Amino acid sequence: MIRPGHWILLRLASYVGVVFGSFISGAPVVADPMADYQVIVTDRALIPKVFYSTDSDRFQIRKTSVAWASLYEDPTHLLKWSVDWRRYRQDEWRLDSKQLGVSIRQEDAYGLGYQASLAVNDLNHAQILTTENRFGWRLSPQSVAEVLVLRDLVESQIGLMSERTYVMLGASLETQWNQRLSSVVYLDTRRFSDQNQRYTGKTKLIVDAWPSQGVTLQAWYQNLRNSDTEASQSAYFNPSRYEETLLVVGVRKRFRNHRLRFRMGAGTQQVVETGPSRAQFSDVILESSDAHDWVWRVTAGYRLSAGVNQDPNYRYRYGGIELIIPWSRRRL
């Protein structure tokens, strides 16, 4: 005969075993074999993604990834395991690498919550650890704060060949002043493995100009400084001081089960070493909004700004497609 205390321990062990096994394997959580009530189902998802970019220096990046979400509720609530294949190319030079990673995301409809990822990149027969972590919370009914911590590769030919990395710590504060006016203040510091230290400040002023059509008018300002302009050895953009001012038009539209976001801006930039020149920016995101079906997301963008060696006409273009395919979705 099983004593009452032992019965409770058996029930607890059974429950923990079922949940832990589901977490590791990604299998559906079935009914507790010692219980005669509710059945719990854990959803999963397959997430393929492709990304491509090119610039005026003829440097190309192609990334293909496949992720398996062992826990999936919707695109903002998931745990996934991924493998990425990356190919870098510039003229006759080529480099292939592979990355294995795990990430978790738990955010609400306003983007508040957290994202965390950890990955190991096999580059030049060396294993390099990268991570990206974001945490956002509401300070007041009108203010939202976010903290960002990441470590990543410097993706250029010189940066990759020298296994250059950087660690960044950043924070932002978004404030809604009234129904039509909001602002964003962002600060970060970035430490490169070549010992250069970068400080960046950004501000955005956003006016909800045409609410019924989702149109905003925005003013952006960016200022960055580097402590050692010689350390990079042309591995990345590294002026002693850089400023940029842009006027941006933004559009957000929702139709049927789709969302569209488009931004386009133009303005001026100034590198201390070379003087002022024009700057341009645009990006677009088109995505499906039904989280209980297949979810897809298409992104594309363009930027004209200063580049490596203070080239004032550096151009960068990118595009990507992501697909989320729910797996074993059952309603019980």
What is the full DSSP assignment across 189-244? EEEETTS-EEEEEEEEEEEEEEGGGTEEEEEEEEEEEES-TTTTTTSS---SEEEE
Paired with 46 in beta bridges are 68, 325
Specify the CATH number for the domain of residue 78: 2.40.160.40
Distance CA 23, CA 16 (A): 11
Q: Find the mean pLDDT for residues 163-191.
A: 97
In a domain, 227, yes or no: yes
Q: Are residues 211 and 244 in the same domain?
A: yes
Q: Are residues 60 and 26 in the same domain?
A: no
In a domain, 332, yes or no: no
pTM above 0.85, yes or no: no
Tokens of 18: 């079922």
What pLDDT, on the 0 to 100 scale, is given for residue 311?
77
**Could you tell me the residue range of the domain that residue 13 belongs to?**
1-42
Q: Find the mean pLDDT for residues 105-120.
A: 94
Q: Are residues 16 and 47 in the same domain?
A: no
pLDDT top residue among 219 and 1: 219
Does 272 score more than 50 pLDDT?
yes
Q: What pLDDT band is residue 133 in, cutting at 50, 70 and 90? A: very high
Q: Are residues 207 and 168 in the same domain?
A: yes
3-state helix, strand, coil in the chain (%, to 5): 10, 65, 25
Percent of the chain scored above 70 by pLDDT?
A: 85
Distance CA 53, CA 302 (A): 10
Q: Are residues 6 and 109 in the same domain?
A: no
Tokens of 21: 């096994």
Q: Are residues 23 and 158 in the same domain?
A: no
Looking at the structure of the chain, the number of domains it has is: 2
Tokens of 265: 């801006």
Distance CA 264, CA 172 (A): 22
The mean pLDDT value of the chain amounts to 87
Q: Are residues 10 and 94 in the same domain?
A: no
In a domain, 298, yes or no: yes
Q: What pLDDT band is residue 331 in, cutting at 50, 70 and 90? A: low
72 by Cβ neighbours in 10 Å (0-12 / 13-18 / 19+) ranks as buried
Q: Are residues 149 and 22 in the same domain?
A: no
Distance of CA 329 to the CA centre of its chain: 26
In a domain, 59, yes or no: yes
Sorted by sequence, the CB contacts under 8 Å of residue 235 that are 6+ apart come out as 154, 156, 158, 159, 162, 164, 194, 308
pLDDT per residue as tens digits for the range 30-82: 444 444 444 444 489 999 999 999 999 999 999 999 999 999 988 899 999 99
pLDDT per residue as tens digits for the range 78-112: 999 999 999 999 999 999 999 999 999 999 988 89
Q: How many CA atoms lie within 13 A of 286 on its CB side?
A: 7
Q: Are residues 35 and 78 in the same domain?
A: no
Q: What pLDDT band is residue 11 in, cutting at 50, 70 and 90? A: very low
Does 22 score more than 90 pLDDT?
no
Sorted by sequence, the CB contacts under 8 Å of residue 189 that are 6+ apart come out as 168, 169, 170, 197, 198, 199, 200
pLDDT per residue as tens digits for the range 203-243: 999 999 999 899 999 999 999 999 999 999 999 999 999 99
Does 19 score more than 80 pLDDT?
no
Distance CA 308, CA 97 (A): 23
Q: Are residues 113 and 141 in the same domain?
A: yes
Does 21 score more than 90 pLDDT?
no
Which range is most confident: 154-168, 279-293, 296-310? 154-168
In a domain, 130, yes or no: yes
Q: What pLDDT band is residue 7 in, cutting at 50, 70 and 90? A: very low
Q: Are residues 73 and 220 in the same domain?
A: yes
Q: Are residues 105 and 30 in the same domain?
A: no
SS3 (DSSP) at 24: helix
Percent of the chain scored above 90 by pLDDT?
A: 74
Distance CA 124, CA 161 (A): 8
What pLDDT, on the 0 to 100 scale, is given for residue 260?
96
